Amino acid sequence: MASPRFVKQLNVQIGNEFAAHQQYIACAVYYDALTMPQMARFFYRQAVEERGHAMMMVQYLLDADEEVAIPGVEAPQNRFDDVVAPVKLALDQEKRVTEQVNQLTAVAREDNDYASDQFMQWFIKEQVEEVATMSALLAVVTRSHDDVESIEEWVAREAATEDDDPTAPAVAGAE
């Protein structure tokens, strides 16, 4: 049984992950409209990944026989000033999620909820990767903001799809 504080905060985090999903779709659509297919594909994949994170959390609560409360989310930002802005927003978002993941882990530890603490370890590792990826992408788009072809080439070369992580938690509804 997960600690009540952890369950409450994880339900909030499910909403945060779904909000990130929506925001990444908005970023992808922005790049799609600019005919930047590599950046669009990158953010569409990020959106799917964020949805997966939410569904991992749902599955954990279901497995722990705890209540799942899917919250509504605010509308994402849809307008951006330039090609750099969505990536800057994404990096800020990933840093915020890192803080949220760390707080969830702290709650699990404070409440001696060892199963929930163990569950959160994968997300800690994932956030290190996410922040590093967005930081690198921000450097590229900032440096090449007037050369979208360079951005597109870098994303195609460096931001290729990763293989599935066999250590990832189960995703609710996945086959």
**Is 100 within a domain?**
yes
- In the numeric block, the tokens 């594909």 are attached to 41
| CA–CA dist 130, 48 (Å, integer) | 14
Amino acid at 5: R
pLDDT in tens, 100-151: 999 999 999 999 999 999 999 999 999 999 999 999 999 999 999 999 999 9
Domain of 24: which CATH number? 1.20.1260.10
Q: How far is CA 171 from CA 53, 54, 160, in A?
A: 8, 8, 22
Please, is 68 exposed, middle or buried when counting C-beta atoms within 10 Å of its C-beta (0-12, 13-18, 19+)?
middle
Number of domains composing the chain = 1
Q: Which string of DSSP letters, residue by residue, matches 10-66? A: HHHHHHHHHHHHHHHHHHHHHHHHTT-HHHHHHHHHHHHHHHHHHHHHHHHHHHTT-
**Is 163 within a domain?**
no
Q: What is the pTM of this model?
A: 0.93
**Is 175 within a domain?**
no
pLDDT of the residue at 159: 81
**Is 21 within a domain?**
yes
**Is 84 within a domain?**
yes
pLDDT in tens, 57-114: 999 999 999 999 999 999 999 999 999 999 999 999 999 999 999 999 999 999 999 9
- Domain carrying residue 109: 4-158
What tokens were used for 117?
């603490």
pLDDT of the residue at 40: 98
**Is 120 within a domain?**
yes
**Is 171 within a domain?**
no
**Is 173 within a domain?**
no
